[in-house]
Structure 1
Amino acid sequence: MKYISPIQLNEIIESDTPTMIVNVLPHHAYMRHHIPNSTNYDVNDPKFISNIEASCPAKETAIILYGIDNTLMRPKMAVHRLEKLGYKNCLVLKGGLEEWESEGYVTITN
């Protein structure tokens, strides 16, 4: 499993590199706060795979997955499922939203 730090993710966001950033938490958690430019596909939703495939058909595209904290259970589950489908560039945000915010990066609240 490959990991990415909040600093590295911010550099990717600022560089406009083709990347998909996915919050794998339930929708209500995503609505509370999330990383700018991220999409919400709950890894426990039966449509998780079909949503990813529809949004990101190119299996070489970097997909960065994140949850709430450093337990990383949901993002790791998502990586496992995506790699079984042939996605080659899945990364997990170390520390999730908690570390992103502790590094001083903004989140979007709805």
Structure 2
Amino acid sequence: MLETSGATRAATSSLGSLAKWGKAVMIGLGGSVQFEPNTYLRKQITVMTSWSMSVVHQAECAEFIARHLPIDELFTHQWSLDQAAEAYAEFDRQTSGRAAFLF
């Protein structure tokens, strides 16, 4: 499981979603995560934190996403780099959904 939002609620929920021997990586963790160790003791989970992943793991993650997720359906807005000012103005209004810069 890969948690990238940095939201306390998402990070805490991600632990509960792990199966026995499951692994969670929390990238760019911004909030706090509190849990009762006895809850997870018998599940033998592994929890890792990182500001980033290795180049190898980034490539594996990108390949997994490309194979398994409907990328075009995930974003409500798509911007080119030359539209960055317009995109950030839209982000500042906080009225849009998810967006991506296309290269």
TM-score category, normalised to shorter length: 0.3 to 0.5
Larger radius of gyration: 2
Length-normalised TM-score, structure 2:
0.34
Q: Which has the higher contact order (CA 8 A, sep 6+)?
A: 1
Length-normalised TM-score, structure 1:
0.33
Structure holding more helix per residue: 2
